[in-house]
Structure 1
Amino acid sequence: MHLVTLSTCNLNQWALDFEGNTNRIIQSIHEAKKAGAKLRVGPELEVSGYDCLDHFLEGDLYLHCWQQMYRILTDKSCYGILLDIGMPVLHRGNRFNCRVLAIDGKIIMIRPKLFLASDGNYRENRYFIAWHGPRHVEEYYLPPMMQDLQGSIKVPIGDAVISTPDTCLGAETCEELFTPNSPHIGMGLSGCEIFTNSSGSHHSLRKLDIRISLILEATRKNGGVYLYSNCRGAGGERLYYDGCSMIIVNGNIVAQGSQFSLNDVEVITATVDLEEVRSYRFTPSRGMQAMQAPAYQRIEIPFSLSEDKLGLAPTKSQPPRYHLPEEEIALGPACYLYDYLRRSGASGFLLPLSGGIDSCSTAIIVFSMCRLAMAAVAEGNETVIADVKRLCRHAKAFPKTPEEFCNNIMHTIYMGMKTQSSKETRQRAETLARDIGSHHTDINIDDAFHSFKGLLTDATGFEPKFKVYGGGNTENLALQNIQARSRMVAAYEFAQLLPTVRFGEGAGGLLVLGSANVDECLRGYLTKYDCSSADINPIGSISKKDLKRFIAWGEKEFKLPILHEFLTAVPTAELEPITGDYVQSDEVDMGMTYDDLSTFGVLRKEMKLGPYYMFQKLVHDWKEERGLEPRQVAEKVKRFFAFYAINRHKMTTMTPSVHMETYSPDDNRFDHRPFLYPRMWDNWSFKMIDQDVERMEAAAAKEAENKERAAAEAQKVESKLGTTAQSDDR
Structure 2
Amino acid sequence: MLRLIRVGAAVLNQTPLDWEKNFQHIIGAIEQARKEKVSILCLPELCITGYGCEDAFYANNTHEKAMEYLQKIVPYTKNMVVSVGLPLLVQNKLFNCAALIANGEILGFVAKKFLAGNGIHYEPRWFTAWTQKGFAFINIAGKEYKVGDLYFNVGGVKIGFEICEDAWVANRPGRALYHYGIDLILNPSASHFAFGKLEVRKRFVLEGSRAFGVSYVYANLLGNEAGRAIYDGGALIANNGSLLAIGERLSFKDFDVTSAIIDLNLTRLSQIQMHSFDVVEDGGNCVEIDFDYPEILPEANHPQEATWEHSKYIKEEEFTRAMMLGLFDYMRKSFSRGFVISLSGGADSSAITCLCRMLIDFGIQELGLEGFLQKLFYFKEIQNCQNADEIAQKLITTAYQATENSGEVTFNAAQKLAQALNVEFHHLNIDKIVKEYHRIVEEAIGRKLSWQTDDVALQNIQARVRAPGIWFFANLKNALLLATSNRSEAAVGYATMDGDTSGGLSPIAGIDKDYLRQWLRWLEKEGVEGKYKISALRYVNEQQPTAELRPKEHKQTDEGDLMPYHILDDIEELAIRDKRSPVECLLFLEQKHPQTERSQLKAWIDKFFKLWCRNQWKRERYAPSFHLDDKNLDPKTWCRFPILSGGFAKELQDLKDF
For Structure 1 versus Structure 2, the TM-score category normalised by the shorter chain is over 0.9
The residue number in structure 2 matching 1:724 is none
In the alignment, the residues of structure 2 paired with residue 526 and residue 270 of structure 1 have an alpha-carbon distance, to the nearest angstrom, of: 50
The residue type equivalent to 2:27 in the other structure is I
Residues 116-156 of structure 1: CA deviation (Å, up to 9, x unaligned) = 000100100111111124xx22232224xx32xxxx2x111
Trace 1:31-430 onto structure 2 (pairs within 5 A).
31-73=32-74, 75=75, 77-133=76-132, 136-143=133-140, 146-147=141-142, 152=143, 154-283=144-273, 286-288=274-276, 290-291=277-278, 297-305=285-293, 307-309=295-297, 311-318=299-306, 320=308, 321-378=311-368, 381=371, 384-388=372-376, 390-391=378-379, 393-394=380-381, 397-400=384-387, 402-417=388-403, 419-430=404-415
Residues 434 and 62 (structure 1), Cα distance of their counterparts in 2 relative to 1, 3 Å cut: same
The residue type equivalent to 1:386 in the other structure is Q
Cα deviation, residue 335, structure 1: 0.8
Gaps of 5+ in 2: none
Residues 273 and 396 (structure 1), Cα distance of their counterparts in 2 relative to 1, 3 Å cut: closer
The residue number in structure 1 matching 2:30 is 29
Match of 1:588 among 560, 582, 588: 560
The residue type equivalent to 1:43 in the other structure is P
- Contact 1:11 1:230 (C-alpha < 8 Å) held by counterparts: yes
In the alignment, the residues of structure 2 paired with residue 408 and residue 33 of structure 1 have an alpha-carbon distance, to the nearest angstrom, of: 39
Confirm whether residue 484 of structure 1 aligns to residue 463 of structure 2.
Answer: yes
In the alignment, the residues of structure 2 paired with residue 608 and residue 163 of structure 1 have an alpha-carbon distance, to the nearest angstrom, of: 48
The residue number in structure 2 matching 1:645 is 613
Residues 347-380 of structure 1: CA deviation (Å, up to 9, x unaligned) = 1110000011111110111011111222134276
Of 111-120 and 548-557, more deviation after overlay is shown by 548-557
In the alignment, the residues of structure 1 paired with residue 575 and residue 239 of structure 2 have an alpha-carbon distance, to the nearest angstrom, of: 39
In the alignment, the residues of structure 2 paired with residue 13 and residue 374 of structure 1 have an alpha-carbon distance, to the nearest angstrom, of: 21
The residue number in structure 1 matching 2:655 is 689
The residue type equivalent to 1:103 in the other structure is A
Residues 377 and 398 (structure 1), Cα distance of their counterparts in 2 relative to 1, 3 Å cut: farther
Cα deviation, residue 650, structure 1: 0.3
Residues 647 and 294 (structure 1), Cα distance of their counterparts in 2 relative to 1, 3 Å cut: farther
Trace 1:614-625 onto structure 2 (pairs within 5 A).
614-619=585-590, 621-622=591-592, 625=593
Gaps of 5+ in 1: 500-508, 694-730
In the alignment, the residues of structure 1 paired with residue 253 and residue 66 of structure 2 have an alpha-carbon distance, to the nearest angstrom, of: 24
Percent of aligned pairs sharing the same letter:
27
- Contact 2:377 2:383 (C-alpha < 8 Å) held by counterparts: no
Cα deviation, residue 615, structure 1: 3.4
Of 308-317 and 26-35, more deviation after overlay is shown by 308-317
- Contact 2:339 2:397 (C-alpha < 8 Å) held by counterparts: yes
Cα deviation, residue 602, structure 1: 2.3
Cα deviation, residue 562, structure 1: 1.5
Cα deviation, residue 612, structure 1: 4.1
Cα deviation, residue 55, structure 1: 0.4
In the alignment, the residues of structure 2 paired with residue 510 and residue 308 of structure 1 have an alpha-carbon distance, to the nearest angstrom, of: 52
Runs of 4+ in structure 1 deviating by more than 6 angstroms, as ranges, are none
Residues 666-692 of structure 1: CA deviation (Å, up to 9, x unaligned) = 112111111112244xx222233334x
SS at match of 2:9: strand
Residues 388 and 130 (structure 1), Cα distance of their counterparts in 2 relative to 1, 3 Å cut: closer
RMSD over aligned CA atoms reads: 2.0
Confirm whether residue 513 of structure 1 aligns to residue 482 of structure 2.
Answer: yes
In the alignment, the residues of structure 2 paired with residue 336 and residue 6 of structure 1 have an alpha-carbon distance, to the nearest angstrom, of: 29
Larger Rg: 1
SS at match of 1:617: helix
The residue type equivalent to 1:130 in the other structure is A
Confirm whether residue 668 of structure 1 aligns to residue 630 of structure 2.
Answer: no
In the alignment, the residues of structure 1 paired with residue 384 and residue 103 of structure 2 have an alpha-carbon distance, to the nearest angstrom, of: 47
Residues 40 and 450 (structure 1), Cα distance of their counterparts in 2 relative to 1, 3 Å cut: same
Cα deviation, residue 80, structure 1: 1.1
In the alignment, the residues of structure 1 paired with residue 579 and residue 390 of structure 2 have an alpha-carbon distance, to the nearest angstrom, of: 47
SS at match of 1:142: strand
Cα deviation, residue 630, structure 1: 4.3
Residues 610 and 302 (structure 1), Cα distance of their counterparts in 2 relative to 1, 3 Å cut: farther
In the alignment, the residues of structure 2 paired with residue 447 and residue 115 of structure 1 have an alpha-carbon distance, to the nearest angstrom, of: 60
Equivalenced residues, count: 649
* TM-score, with structure 1 as normaliser: 0.86
In the alignment, the residues of structure 2 paired with residue 307 and residue 186 of structure 1 have an alpha-carbon distance, to the nearest angstrom, of: 30
- Contact 1:2 1:306 (C-alpha < 8 Å) held by counterparts: no
The residue number in structure 2 matching 1:636 is 604
Of 193-202 and 305-314, more deviation after overlay is shown by 305-314
The residue type equivalent to 2:487 in the other structure is V
* TM-score, with structure 2 as normaliser: 0.95
Match of 2:444 among 444, 459, 462: 459
- Contact 1:65 1:87 (C-alpha < 8 Å) held by counterparts: yes
Residues 33 and 529 (structure 1), Cα distance of their counterparts in 2 relative to 1, 3 Å cut: same
Cα deviation, residue 71, structure 1: 1.1
Higher helix fraction: Structure 1 or Structure 2? 1
The residue type equivalent to 1:394 in the other structure is E
Match of 2:516 among 547, 570, 576: 547
Confirm whether residue 571 of structure 1 aligns to residue 542 of structure 2.
Answer: no
Cα deviation, residue 544, structure 1: 1.8
Match of 1:523 among 492, 495, 516: 492
